[in-house]
Amino acid sequence: MKDLFEKIYKDKGPLGKWASQAEGYFVFPKLEGQISNRMKFQGKDVITWSINDYLGLANHPEVRKVDAEAAAEYGSAYPMGARMMSGHTSLHEQLQNELAAFVNKEAAYLLNFGYQGMLSTIDALVGKDDIIVYDVDAHACIIDGVRLHMGKRFTYKHNDVESLEKNLERATKMAEQTGGGILVISEGVFGMRGEQGRLKEIVALKKKYNFRFLVDDAHGFGTLGKTGAGAGEEQGVQDDIDVYFATFAKSMAGTGAFIAADKEIIDYLKYNLRSQMFAKSLQMQLVVGALKRLDMLRTMPELKNNLWTIVDALQSGLKERGFDIGTTQSCVTPVYLKGSIPEAMALVRDLRENYGIFCSIVVYPVVPKGIILLRMIPTATHTLEDVEVTLNAFSAIRSRLENGTYKRLSAAVAAAMGE
């Protein structure tokens, strides 16, 4: 019999094996200072394009004031208990009611964390006789929720409605045999590529197939739609989304999440979401803070307008300079370059050390080999000057990538990696 840890000693995983070269700089970096468009990284001032603070609320003075007052009044522990037992308050109910109204649903329910909440929602919605059909590029929280499912599941090609329909045909035949139902899952905005899920086309398939539709709109909530209610509002199909999910970790600049649906569905989920039933209630400090943030989303449209001024300037500027930003239809701004992992490391180090630009780097196995993805998150706190400085920096690093500078600089790293 093997030692349980033997496999860990031999294989640290596709990302963990690079820890000695990457940790502390490329992964697990330490950004310092107040959350803003400009922060410090290893003592240097950098323009920060990797913070999900879309509307600039994280360090907004009104938000900071309410957060501080709530902490002083309630501390960071209250209420001490699970919602069902002792952690329920009128403010939790108020926040749920306001969120439901904002996203045009009958009811909503608070979740302590987005990741666990989505995982648990999927687990509660389906049984062993049901079938799940989901986008192959779904977020890890969706994939882990599907892993809990003891029944059948099918993936469809990313944002490919024809592939979805083929899988719905398979799922329908299987559901007729098992006596179960079908749950389709998509993201409102795919956080790596920035593409909106094809919600309108998926909803149209309801005329032909019997399924329920769950949408993870973490990146769409607060940034898309006339009022900021998300990708469903943007595409005119919010009413046809059966279960709507969003997190507070993006536009709301906080901690927590929520699901929204018809009242009967939310009533069911309240009593069957294991990640909420057996966990401490969302603390009051966060609830009060979320109420303030939601009020600002509703009453300050200039926040979203400012965000999109920056988004439009950044994305149009990149395209004008010939950069490949894929097919993004949201604030998420991917920049695709060609190169190896060692070249990516040299490029990002140059970008941070010599140009003062900090953005997230994504390489294989998250994206195909030979691709370097620089993922940028514009926010309402960025300025047009930030955009111009960044565009100039990107032009410079592309030239150095194409003329082989980074390949030469990364030769030792490449040799150590066996590249």
Distance CA 70, CA 78 (A): 11
Q: What pLDDT sits at residue 413?
A: 60
Q: What pLDDT sits at residue 313?
A: 98
pLDDT tops 90 at residue 234: yes
What mean pLDDT is predicted for residues 116-136? 96
For 354, phi then psi, to 5°, come to: -105, -15
pLDDT tops 90 at residue 13: no
pLDDT band with cut points at 50, 70 and 90 for residue 367: confident
Distance CA 324, CA 343 (A): 18
Topology of the domain covering 63-299 = Aspartate Aminotransferase; domain 2 (3.40.640)
Q: Identify the weakest region by mean pLDDT among 18-22, 46-50, 294-298, 346-350.
A: 18-22
Distance CA 55, CA 303 (A): 6
Task: Please state which of the four CATH numbers 3.50.50.60, 3.90.1150.10, 3.40.50.880, 3.10.440.10 is assigned to the domain occupying 5-54+301-417.
Answer: 3.90.1150.10
Q: Residues 171, 133: contact at Cβ < 8 Å? A: yes
pLDDT tops 60 at residue 418: no
For 331, phi then psi, to 5°, come to: -70, -30
Extract the runs of DSSP E, i.e. beta strands, from 103-256: 107-111, 131-135, 152-156, 182-187, 212-216, 243-247
What mean pLDDT is predicted for residues 4-26? 81
Q: What angle do CA 15, 47, 352 make, to 5 degrees?
A: 50
Among the listed residues 361, 312, 351, 339, the one whose alpha carbon sits nearest the alpha carbon of residue 414: 339
pLDDT band with cut points at 50, 70 and 90 for residue 415: low
Q: Tell me the domain boundaries of the chain.
A: 5-54+301-417, 63-299
